[in-house]
Amino acid sequence: MLSSGDLRDVDERLLDYLREGRVTPAHARERVMSDDGEEYSRGYVQQRLSRLEEHGHATNLGGGLYELVDDPRDDVGQEDAVAELKEHVRAAGEAIDDQDIDALRRHVRAACEVLDDERD
């Protein structure tokens, strides 16, 4: 999977277009332009769509028709949540070693809150 930092401007524009529905490289090329208003080549658009597919963000349904699977821009806060969850699990392990039941409960509850927040 790509992170939002791995995306080029053209990738972001393609993801926006894919959010609206299925696309072909030819149609995407007509819609997606560079910052300076230049059109990208059909081959370049195809290459970028293939890269999104390679990383699990789009799928080729056949005949060059692409569909969005997962927008990596939606996962921006997920990395922070994973780090916070790991910290609570580590602290819970220390609480077990120290036989500190109150600290264990606190960290397990906090970890559950992180997971609940990610589900919403």
Partners of 66 in the β-ladder = 23, 60
CATH code that applies to domain 4-72: 1.10.10.10
Q: Per-domain residue ranges for the chain?
A: 4-72, 77-119
**What does the block give as tokens for 98?**
């120290």
Longest Cα–Cα distance of the chain, Å, equals: 64
pLDDT at residue 107, as a whole number: 84
CA angle 18, 67, 75 (to 5 degrees): 65
What percent of the chain clears pLDDT 90, i.e. is strictly above it?
46
| Average predicted confidence (pLDDT) for the chain | 87
Q: Are 49 and 14 in contact (CB under 8 A)?
A: yes
**pLDDT tens by residue, 23-56:** 999 999 988 887 788 889 999 999 999 999 999 9
Name the residue among 85, 93, 90 with its Cα closest to residue 110. 85
